[in-house]
Structure 1
Amino acid sequence: MERVNIALLGAGTVGSAFARLVAQQRQRLAGLGIEVELGKVLVRDPSKVREGIPAEKLTDQTEGLLEEADVLVEVMGGTSLAKKLVLDALEQGIPVITANKALLAEAWGELRPYADDGLLYYEASVMAATPVVSALSGVLWGSHLLELHAILNGTTNYILNRLEGGATYAEALAEAQAKGYAEADPTLDVEGLDAAHKLTVLARLCADPDYPWEEVRAHTRGITHLTPADLEDARQQGQTIRLVGSLYPENGRWKAVVRPVRLPLEHPLARAGSARNGLVLRGDACGELVFMGAGAGGAATASAVLGDLYQLLMGVPGHAPISAKAPVPDYPAERLEEV
């Protein structure tokens, strides 16, 4: 049996779920001839009990964290300490599995060489368990991208559904926070930044390997200005309003934008449920493809992290960006009405 030691950054909802999934799948992993061992687990408060993680593995010290690690799993989030530890691991040749879309979007200049080398795995960074990252970094390279539209944030989807039901924005946000869909500080979700991070990751997989985060950020608007009246007016016209990230050709270049738009009720994205994500991709050879599924949640995200671990253990390289900027097609992309 080959033993693989995992250093884990973060033991919150996703980290704890990942540890439980690894424990549940030990027999399956053993079938691959591999014994997975959870090593040190970095947390803010090591005195706090974490279900499924032995207390002696918890630490708030970064020193020595990577000493025995064969792989680093990062689910702590943020772009400061996470960035330092991820880069420390990659510089030592330790593969990294991460769900951190903000880090991928904002620190890509430093991370890309390792992604090109196959050391960086990040399926869980976009749409959680719905496997769009693997698709866009693999089989869909056989088709030139024409356009992409996606609902990438379940929190805003939930809030907009509640606005449709007549709740005020403040009421809908409070409900989302009570259910655990929104953080105490919901800025990243409701201002569209979370979706913008994810769209940036997708753009680099299928359009431009160096698509700049700042470009996406500059073309991002959130949902805080919307009211039940806006949703009712859309409903009266056979439409719904959703926060959508789009990537499409415009004036000879790729353009990425995040904004609330009106969608006809028959549009594939209009059928995404309350906290679900969806993606519509159109390619010259593959035609229209629709991905729909859970875009958040501890178990769903952890399952994608574990899936990346399986890929790594079976010798499959990590997710690489498209090798060069994709040709910009002369294509009349779908224009969605902004709100």
Structure 2
Amino acid sequence: MSAAPLLEVADLNVRLAVPHGRLHVVNNVDLQVGRGETLCLVGESGCGKSMVALSLMRLLPRVAGWSAGHLRLDGQDLSVLDDRAFAAIPGNRIAMIFQDPMTAFNPVMPLGEQLFEGFLRHRRGDRRQAREKALHLLDRLNVPAAARRLKQYPHELSGGLRQRMMIAMALMCDPALVIADEPTTALDVTIQALTLRLLAELQREMDLGLILVTHDLGLVSRMADRVAVMYAGQIVETADRRSLFAEPRHPYTRGLIDCVPVPGRHRAGGRLGTIEGSVPMMLEGVPGCRFANRCAFVRGACRAQAPPVRQAGGRSWRCIWEGLPASEDALQGAS
């Protein structure tokens, strides 16, 4: 990334207080996003992706505590702002598109009022200007009968229309950064494709930085400029999209890619790859690599000490291996 990044996060940590200790749901996470860039944050459910997104918006639950070395947006360190000063950031300079708009919208307030609210607060405009802005965005998002939609309530719209209304609400104040947390999970395949295409077009027009949280590698292959793979609260690999799919450096990344059917690589009717086991409890004091109990390439040292973070060619990965063996058979032969 040649120019100064739009968003620069260093040493982000989130802890959840639970009866048997503290869960390290986000652990020493570093991220960078440039203007006009799409960073996909990838990993299976429970690995901490959404907690990263929520921490950037300070929307964490009451039992959560967070800290960061720094969290800079356009050079301003947001981590040092108190809650009162930070209130000017969400919905204004950083906006979020939630996974399920039915639960994110207020069910008893017309959608237009919900779209206008952030604009009236942050832009100090009047209702006429807010309405013009909303209608412009809804037109760009191909929402039919846009003026009528502003008077309707969330339950009166289909899932695809609700999601487009949420995208419009996120863009009302022309934010620099948009965080989209599984924005198409609740939509059918056709509406997914339309929604993502419209979001990509608006991103290019507005030069937005975009963090796309997902577990869908097919979506990543179409949308991402760079990819950050997350496992058990840590970023285990970061690379540009082409490098990541061509040569994954972390065993977890390879495992995720092997689970996806690819024409020409997987035989019809054959078995896909799997990652045995489940994400471990992220308690304090867990020794060694967090992926060791599920890794096909594990060695004794992996369980004894945390793996180093390696860097080469503009990418990084957290693993004892500089380069993964071609297969488990090759690993057995090497050992």
Which TM-score applies when normalising by structure 1? 0.35
